[in-house]
Amino acid sequence: MIVNEQVAIDHGLKKDEYKKICALLKRVPNITELGIFSAMWNEHCSYKSSRLHLKKLPTKGKNVIQGPGENAGVIDIGDDDAIVFKIESHNHPSFIEPYQGAATGVGGIMRDIFTMGARPIANLNSIHFGSPQNKKTKNLLRGVVHGIGGYGNCMGVPTIAGQTSFDESYNGNILVNAMTLGLVKKNKIFYSKAAGLGKPVIYVGSKTGRDGIHGASMASAVFDEKIEEKKPTVQVGDPFTEKLLLEACLELMAGDSIIAIQDMGAAGLTSSSIEMASKGKLGIEIDLSKVPCRESKMTPYEIMLSESQERMLIVLESGKEELAKKIFDKWNLDFAVIGKTTNSKKIELYFDDNKVADIPIDILVENAPMYDRKWKKTKLPKKIKIDKKKFKNLKIINVLNKVLSNPNVCSKEWIWQQYDHTVMGDTIQKPGGDSGVVRIHGTNKAVAASVDSSAIYCWAHPLSGGKQIVCESWRNLISVGAKPIAITNCLNFGSPEKEENMGEFVECVQGLSEASLYLNFPVVSGNVSFYNQTKDVGIKPTPAIGGVGLIKDYKNMITMGLKQIDNILIVVGKTEGHLDQSLFAREILDEKNGPPPEINLFNEKNNGETILKLIDKGLIKAAHDVSIGGIIVALSKMCIKGKKGVTLKNPNYLINQFEYFFGEDQGRYIIEIEKDNFKDVIEIFEKNTVHYDELGTVNKNELIINDKSKVTIDELIKFHTSWLTNYMKK
């Protein structure tokens, strides 16, 4: 095939980019080379629109062992243990083929983790669907959930937490973000930087097929009506092979044979080989006829661009080939020496003794395009003056029913019951809590992890929204008694070529950056997914934050369920009744304008750290952060989890009761304490200038707001649990 400008455009490259390629190469690339450029220079692999802005994120901290730039981030959790973690998107393929798209998303992120030598110990996910009324939503949800479960369950890694939301902006572009945590000893972390000349390059895992060719390019494009034609670009997963690959890799990693290792994810053999060589400032030579292929007559172009799953590329120490082969034979996996490292600083590919590609690596990596795209600032919307008359006809219990059964608030048990969340025997906090918590096997330590996003806030004001998610992640960790350590982010946005969307991206990143810097909660890994857009309409900006924290003694873990009758409940943080962009305003008052709640980073940090102090002193019996739906939703969930009720104090607040109960002011928690400890707790709050309000006391089985407004816990459970199950059964 003759390469020209049109062929390049068909590969998703821009005219200027094609010109740049020809100029850098000083010739026209052949088709294999063009394919390599298109894979390396697409948005998904090159981060060409985002790189400039991602530099702003704080990535360092005293517990950070490895920040962004490797397969995943690594943090120190003491005693030579480290946690490797990352979140990644698989949005485009999951819309086209929900089961395989979601499954391979989970497979891909787990590979990123064990590539670094870590055994995966927990999975999480953040999934977002269109409006429940949209006719595609139900099948997409079912397919994605089955896919996530199908892969994770087979791997034997517990899925411990997640987040699901519905919003019409995802009607044409669902989001599937998968996160994995792995455990590794600090001195056994593996990196992707190749070193040494003439070292054997090994291919292991599944055979290469024609699936997933151009997957990364597809993920860098906007959807249109021809979307069905993209099905062949979706990869097909085989979790059993991945389980074998995991065990085989960990077995090989126990020794000292590996110099560098990289999984074949997006852009397959192309990006893995180039990345290893680039990091080592070396060249790489590969004989493509040695690559194990699943189908006959695959061309060099297809082999280089295939995104077949469950494959790894390894640079071995010379002479270790036999030893390595033995391990992969034991696990019945393909093993082939396909090339070697060189000093040419080029990628040189051979096929049937012909040279089929010859490209200097710096051209592909350092010279990859980087754009300073135009972007538009979002003004802070004016606060809405809500007509108080609107409250007059509302009955609080009816409103509570509507809010608790709202798709974005209701119990997601239908989903997480399909994920094995207890395998490995260390899950001490299951899905449905503020964070999932797993013990570090055989120790008293535990790690907590949570994944959060607030697209509505980000859409209303990206800067505030960006800050808010980091804070919410921080609060979710603190609520289980974990000290927050670091985050990973998955930045899901529309097209960067549109100023509005680019603006949302830039300002969300700015917000993330400010909050994570202030809270000393650095970003150690992440992924950007642009072009979540159908024709002209992009999704609401949806950065998802995966937070990880440490609990030194798992026996001190906190859960949200109410524990003991007569205990006292306290709201920590100030309640001012912010209703704009709250669930109450949007769903009950049908008011969709106004600013999201303000973030006060000082209070956020102070409140959180004070709660941790109380937990350390053993003064907190239950805790839950106040988020979507406000105080009353948070309280209801604590009642439901603990199967106990609450008698609220006659409130002395000045604001309206709907503002008080449904307002979404930030930086708040509800805690349960024993009566005898009340004085001590208050003293600590006052000493640390933390605002608190006494809320009420725990009772047997009723949420009593006042004499006229009460509801039993059984009813609350019904409000909270029935929507999703009924929706899926219909």
Closest contact distance (angstroms) between CB of 413 and other proteins is 9
Residue pair 657/394 in contact by the 8 Å Cβ criterion: no
We find the least distance from the C-beta atom of residue 644 to other proteins, in angstroms, to be 19
Per DSSP, 223 falls in state B
**Closer residue to other proteins (CB): 127 or 572:** 127
**For residues 289 and 339, is the Cβ–Cβ distance under 8 A?**
no
Which CB, 247 or 317, lies closer to other proteins? 247
Cα gap 549→248, rounded to integer Å: 29
Query: Around 543, how many Cα atoms within 13 Å sit in the side-chain half-sphere?
Result: 36
CB 326, min distance to other proteins, A: 13
Is 90 one of the annotated active-site residues of the chain?
A: yes
Residue 612 CB: number of other CB atoms within 10 A? 18
The residue among 541 and 642 lying less far from other proteins, judged by its C-beta, is: 642
Residue appearing with tokens 């490259």:
13
Q: Which two tokens stand for residue 589?
A: 């008052």
The span from the CA of 94 to the CA of 110, in Å, is: 17
Nearer to other proteins, 399 or 560 (CB): 560
Our CB check for other proteins shows the closer of 113 and 523 to be: 113
Count CB-CB contacts under 10 A for residue 617.
12
- The catalytic residue among 53, 90, 92, 720 is 90
Name residue, tokens 């034997």.
Answer: 156
Shortest Å distance, C-beta 554 to other proteins: 6
C-alpha to C-alpha distance for 676 and 672, rounded to whole angstroms? 12
- Which amino acid is located at 439 in the chain? R
List the catalytic residue out of 44, 421, 461, 578.
44
Q: How many Cβ atoms from other residues are within 10 Å of residue 138's Cβ? A: 14
User: Alpha helices, DSSP H only, in 570-677?
Assistant: 583, 601-616, 630-642, 657-662
Q: Strands across the sheet with 81-89, in order?
A: 64-66, 73-76, 81-89, 175-185, 119-129, 159-166
Minimum CB distance to other proteins smaller for 520 or for 725: 725
User: Which of 429, 510, 400 minimizes the C-alpha distance to 463?
Assistant: 510
The answer to whether 436 touches 429, Cβ cutoff 8 Å, is yes
Question: Considering the complex, what minimum distance in angstroms separates the CB of residue 265 from other proteins?
Answer: 22
Distance CA 173, CA 248 (A): 36
CB of 77 to other proteins, least distance (A): 18
Nearest to 324 by CA among 261, 241, 248: 248
Per CB under 8 A, residues contacting other proteins are 146, 149-150, 153-156, 238-241, 243-244, 247, 331-332, 416-428, 439, 554-555
Nearer to other proteins, 331 or 584 (CB): 331
Smallest gap from residue 416 Cβ to other proteins (A): 8
Active-site residues: which are they? Answer: 44, 90
